[in-house]
Chains A and B, each alone.
Chain A
Amino acid sequence: MSTPATDIATYNFAYLDEQTKRMIRRAILKGIAIPGYQVPFASREMPMPYGWGTGGVQVTAAIIGPDDVLKVIDQGADDTTNAVSIRAFFQKVADVAVTTETAKATIIQTRHRIPEHPLTEGQTLVYQVPIPEPLRFLEPRETETRKMHALEEYGLMHVKLYEDIARHGRIATTYAYPVKVEGRYVMDPSPTPKFDNPKMHMSPALQLFGAGREKRIYAVPPFTKVVSLDFEDHPFEIQAFDQPCALCGAEQVYLDEVILDDKGGHMFVCSDTDHCETRQACGHRGHLSPDILEPAQ
């Protein structure tokens, strides 16, 4: 078999065979029709280990077309191993254009962050989900959790939040913070920081969630209500940072701590690398930006 001129690998387009993609698309459509409901699907073996985004990759493979522009982020960064290898994978098996710019992408596969740049209509955010069941750690039986979803018995979710307050004086859950979708299903937004929960609410972008090992797909269609659970006297709050990004000076964004040396030196920088780079290119500077040091030399 000769290699096509497009230099696409001799796999089927986007790695999965057409029947599999069809099966996954049906699960996605069902998920979109019932926002927040976990649709079982026949998850395939992918050429990567579980936990590296097999669910997200299958969802992306099922929806990607030759005209799509793909962005992959891992904890907000475009340049970490997971993001680089998934991006390379789709370049190889689907020959699609890739980008690191949020605004240019049509499909963004993400591991645990929603980009800082607001998403727009027509964009699709694909989450890699390790454990799709928000009730799992309190109720180990799958038969029981399914029944609880079916009968809308979500008291247990508040038991978890109650425990947080009893132990820590506040809701100490900072990621995988449970949300209620369109007033019906309680959903685990994958381990994104709760900082990003408000971005899911009425988002113009389509949000798809794929859990490869657990074989579940769920979805939040555009402009859907996503409400974080809380108590009347302990309302939902997002993380706040006391200092801006050390490189671009951005405020009201999610920051990562970066260790600088073994003497306790550290700095906080944007977790969304594209956002940080874009701001720096526009001339924004933080207190540790290299440019600030230059005048002293």
Chain B
Amino acid sequence: MTDEPLLRVTALSKYYGSRIGCEDISFDLWPGEVLAIVGESGSGKTTLLNCLSTRLLPTSGTASYRMRDNQWRDLYRMSEAERRFLMRTDWGFVHQNPADGLRMTVSAGANVGERLMAIGDRHYGNIRATAVDWLGRVEIDEERIDDEPRAFSGGMRQRLQIARNLVTGPRLVFMDEPTGGLDVSVQARLLDLLRGLVTDLGLAAIVVTHDLAVARLLSQRMMVMKDGHVVEAGLTDRVLDDPRAPYTQLLVSSILQV
């Protein structure tokens, strides 16, 4: 084991013309750690996530990632080929809308197997066995392996998307509102599943959410964003139980009680 972080972000800023997407964000992410980024709509959390996952190029600042060989690499100076390879092996990206992250016209098994085939697996039997195994781990019945995701419910699609991302054993997963658009009971199951997987696999994850309950359940650490800036960061329990910034206090007190 190493006592170095996995991802190191320094003074990251993204401007859309003169408007601020996010500004001067710095943090370290450690292996096996789940970081939640919370904030209201338009606070820049998705911009930040897209910059970190190299789907967007930031205006300034750096993000370095420790590769599997312990070499530090600047994400924004890697070649596109390296970046895309990283994204489909060592990283995962779970979209809010599963249709964005799945191939809706190919079967569930092929969706899970795609990454394996992309890194050169050419044995149908092995690919299928791995797909069956992963469907089981995300609680999708093995019989559904040849069905297209179109025939799946929203919760199943989201679980399939998670399996598709985790099949190559990534070390870092980005999640953009993973429970958005799901009803509460399905949300609870998905969170339970995610929490189990993250712990079992020792995944590091960056989870963007506006739902403080998701942050509480999944993350060890959280950052609260407003207008493109981090207004408060710290251990999740500390931030939620003892919010210091006025905005965080407002956010915590706006949670609806049943």
Residues of A within 8 A of B (CB): 138, 147, 151, 153, 155-156, 158-160, 162-163, 165-167, 230-234
Pick the residue among B106, B119, B125 that contacts A159 (CB under 8 A): B106
**Docked-complex contact A153 and B84, CB < 8 angstroms:** yes
Pick the residue among B80, B84, B103, B117 that contacts A158 (CB under 8 A): B117
Bound together, the chains give a CA A179 to CA B189 distance in angstroms of 44
**Docked-complex contact B107 and A163, CB < 8 angstroms:** yes
**Docked-complex contact A231 and B106, CB < 8 angstroms:** no
Q: Mark B11-49, 1 if CB is under 8 A from A, else 0.
A: 000000000000000000000000000000000000000
Bound together, the chains give a CA A151 to CA B107 distance in angstroms of 25
Cβ contacts under 8 Å, B115 to chain A: 155
A162-B103 contact, Cβ under 8 Å, with A151-B84, A153-B84, A156-B114:
no
B122 sits at the interface (CB 8 A): yes
Residue of B nearest to A148 (CB): B84
**Docked-complex contact A151 and B124, CB < 8 angstroms:** no
Cβ contacts under 8 Å, B118 to chain A: 153, 155-156
Cβ contacts under 8 Å, B122 to chain A: 158, 230-232
Cβ contacts under 8 Å, A232 to chain B: 122-124
Q: Mark B81-95, 1 if CB is under 8 A from A, else 0.
A: 100100000000000
Residue of B nearest to A152 (CB): B81
| Whole-angstrom distance between the Cβ of B102 and the nearest chain A Cβ | 12
A166-B110 contact, Cβ under 8 Å, with A138-B103, A231-B123, A233-B125:
yes
What would be 11 A-B contacts, judged by CB atoms less than 8 Å apart? A138-B103, A138-B105, A151-B84, A159-B106, A162-B106, A162-B127, A163-B106, A163-B107, A166-B110, A231-B123, A232-B123
**10 extra interface residue pairs, beta carbon distance < 8 Å, beyond A160-B106, A233-B125:** A138-B106, A151-B84, A153-B84, A155-B118, A158-B117, A159-B106, A159-B113, A166-B110, A166-B128, A230-B122
B109 sits at the interface (CB 8 A): yes
Q: Mark B183-218, 1 if CB is under 8 A from A, else 0.
A: 000000000000000000000000000000000000
Bound together, the chains give a CA A160 to CA B115 distance in angstroms of 13
Cβ contacts under 8 Å, B106 to chain A: 138, 159-160, 162-163
Residue of B nearest to A157 (CB): B117
Bound together, the chains give a CA A68 to CA B122 distance in angstroms of 44
Residue of A nearest to B120 (CB): A155
| Whole-angstrom distance between the Cβ of B42 and the nearest chain A Cβ | 28
B242 sits at the interface (CB 8 A): no
Interface residue ranges of B148-193 to A (CB < 8 Å): none
Cβ contacts under 8 Å, A158 to chain B: 117, 122
Pick the residue among A153, A166, A231, A233 that contacts B109 (CB under 8 A): A166
| Whole-angstrom distance between the Cβ of B115 and the nearest chain A Cβ | 7
A159-B110 contact, Cβ under 8 Å, with A166-B146, A234-B124:
yes
Shortest Cβ-Cβ A-B pairs, 6 listed: A155-B118, A158-B117, A231-B124, A155-B117, A232-B123, A151-B81
Cβ contacts under 8 Å, B145 to chain A: 166
Residue of B nearest to A162 (CB): B110
**Docked-complex contact A162 and B84, CB < 8 angstroms:** no
Pick the residue among B105, B119, B124 that contacts A162 (CB under 8 A): B124
Bound together, the chains give a CA A282 to CA B33 distance in angstroms of 78
| Whole-angstrom distance between the Cβ of B75 and the nearest chain A Cβ | 17
Cβ contacts under 8 Å, B103 to chain A: 138, 159
Cβ contacts under 8 Å, A155 to chain B: 114-115, 117-119
Cβ contacts under 8 Å, A231 to chain B: 122-124
**Docked-complex contact B107 and A166, CB < 8 angstroms:** yes
Pick the residue among B80, B119, B127 that contacts A151 (CB under 8 A): B80
Bound together, the chains give a CA A163 to CA B114 distance in angstroms of 11
Residue of B nearest to A230 (CB): B122
**Docked-complex contact B146 and A167, CB < 8 angstroms:** yes
Residue of A nearest to B145 (CB): A166
A162-B146 contact, Cβ under 8 Å, with A151-B84, A153-B118:
no
**Docked-complex contact B81 and A159, CB < 8 angstroms:** no
Residue of A nearest to B113 (CB): A162
Bound together, the chains give a CA A96 to CA B127 distance in angstroms of 54
Cβ contacts under 8 Å, A233 to chain B: 123-125
Cβ contacts under 8 Å, B124 to chain A: 162, 165, 231-234
Cβ contacts under 8 Å, B114 to chain A: 155-156, 159
| Whole-angstrom distance between the Cβ of A154 and the nearest chain B Cβ | 8
* Most A C-beta atoms less than 10 A away, residue of B110, B125, B128: B110
